[in-house]
Amino acid sequence: MNLCDKKVSKIGFGTWKIGGGYWSADRTRDPQWIELLRYVYDRGINLFDTAEMYGGGHTEELVGQALKDYDEEEFTIITKVWNNHLSYDDVIKSAKASLRRLNVKLIDLYLIHWPSPSVPLRETIRAMEKLVDDGVVRCIGVSNFDVTLVQEAMEVSSRYQIEANEIEYSYVHREPEAQLIPFLERNNIKVIAYSPLGRGEISRDARLAEVAKRYGVTPIQVGLNYVARRAIPIPKASTKAHVDELAKVLEWDLKEEDYLHLSSSS
């Protein structure tokens, strides 16, 4: 899979709750988090998803510290601007602050985290295109946008394409398959799936368990492989054992008949 002209692993890694929560930092486990993030990369997952809101920016710092000894061409970082920073000047300021915290040459993919009802999308996209022009950002995208909003984003982006839409999508939350994902696919916009483990629900899904038994794998691994057919899932993990379970998804694919069986089940 390619994202922003870089080769990325079939699944990425989400960093929400690493180093803090909603705009608040927690530095008590920094060494463990840095070690875990490096372990994720060493297990073959080279896409990391973060945001300025996570830990009030501290999560970005941890991602930057974890990856600082690796070649930037070998990993991809997604980060996001919060929806109270979507005015032109605030977008520029937020992106430069994220770049500083991540300690990389440029942000690979910069997303609008949530749409704003108060700032015109044209203004935000204009700032994001300026960031590409200035070499702060490699490419731009959106998150939590429905079909109408993605269409608007495409219309107001004059120089650069909308690379991706990051949305909630899992085997137990398949609503995007009806309209949103087909629309994104028709327009060559990548789907990035957050909460691809269905907030823990997929480990208890009987259909996934049935298929998992045939492959000798776990329901989580089947669920991630299902989502990976049409999206880049970005699961989270807090232990090396869980990272190992996620990384095994890189080693195999669902057979067509099993994918169709799962997709036809309601």
Question: What average pLDDT values come out for the chain (266 residues) when binned by 10 residues?
Answer: 95 97 96 98 98 98 98 97 98 98 98 96 98 98 98 96 98 97 98 96 94 97 98 98 98 97 86
Residue 213 within any structural domain of the chain = no
What's the rounded Cα separation, in Å, for the pair 145 and 148? Answer: 8
| Active-site residue (options: 41, 54, 110, 194) | 54
With CA atoms as reference, report the closest residue to 190 among 161, 226, 219: 161
Burial of residue 178 (CB within 10 Å: 0-12, 13-18, 19+) is: exposed
Residue 96 within any structural domain of the chain = yes
- What is the predicted pLDDT for the residue at 82? 98
Residue 15 within any structural domain of the chain = yes
CATH code at position 105: 3.20.20.100
Q: Is 22 a catalytic residue?
A: no
Residue 37 within any structural domain of the chain = yes
Secondary structure of residue 127 in the 3-state scheme: helix
Helices then strands, counting H and E runs in the chain, come out as 10, 12
Residue 114 within any structural domain of the chain = yes
Q: Can you point out the beta strands (E) in 4-157? A: 6-7, 13-14, 20-21, 24-25, 47-49, 76-81, 107-112, 137-143
Burial of residue 133 (CB within 10 Å: 0-12, 13-18, 19+) is: exposed
List phi, psi (to 5°) of 7. -80, 125
Q: Which two tokens stand for residue 136?
A: 């702060």
- What is the predicted pLDDT for the residue at 265? 75
Cα-Cα end-to-end distance for the chain: 28
What's the rounded Cα separation, in Å, for the pair 60 and 15? Answer: 9
Q: How many other β-carbons are positioned within 10 Å of the β-carbon of residue 183?
A: 17
Domain enclosing residue 52, as ranges: 2-203+227-254
Instruction: State the pairing for strand pair 232-233/2-3.
Output: unpaired
- What is the predicted pLDDT for the residue at 266? 65
The count of structural domains within the chain is 1
Residue 52 within any structural domain of the chain = yes
Q: Which two tokens stand for residue 60?
A: 């970005």
Cα 195 to the chain's mean position, in Å? 10
Residue 262 within any structural domain of the chain = no
What's the rounded Cα separation, in Å, for the pair 113 and 52? Answer: 9
What's the rounded Cα separation, in Å, for the pair 259 and 253? Answer: 10
Q: Is the pTM of this model over 0.75?
A: yes
